[in-house]
Amino acid sequence: AQTVTQSQPEMSVQEAETVTLSCTYDTSENNYYLFWYKQPPSRQMILVIRQEAYKQQNATENRFSVNFQKAAKSFSLKISDSQLGDTAMYFCAFMKQGEYGNKLVFGAGTILRVKS
């Protein structure tokens, strides 16, 4: 079974600065996807960024980028130029690649607070 670990329950960052959220996972699969989801106070789950395990290049989406280390099973999220609207719970998630849809396995989450 796959597990996802987020070792930072809470983080805070000053507006306009950079912050990195950590995530490690455990799997025996070779093909899979990794995701970061954001959950603001509204509780809506919003996809921030995804990474395919077969791609060596780290994914980027505007101010969000990842550091994917497949051998170390590490998948950290870097948020640059932090904004107040980035305040939210962030979840790292794992999905096996397969013929049919597959379930997401989530970490426990990291609360990020952006301070003005």
Partner 1 sequence: NAGVMQNPRHLVRRRGQEARLRCSPMKGHSHVYWYRQLPEEGLKFMVYLQKENIIDESGMPKERFSAEFPKEGPSILRIQQVVRGDSAAYFCASSPKYSLYNEQFFGPGTRLTVL
Binding site for partner 1 (CB under 8 A): 33, 42-47, 50, 52, 91, 95, 97, 100-109
Nearer to partner 1, 103 or 115 (CB): 103
β-bridge pairing 3-5 and 46-52: unpaired
Nearer to partner 1, 68 or 91 (CB): 91
User: Closest distance between partner 1 and the C-beta of residue 69, in Å?
Assistant: 20
Q: 37 with 49: CB under 8 angstroms?
A: no
Distances (CA, A) of 91 to 45, 100, 116: 9, 23, 23
Nearer to partner 1, 29 or 52 (CB): 52
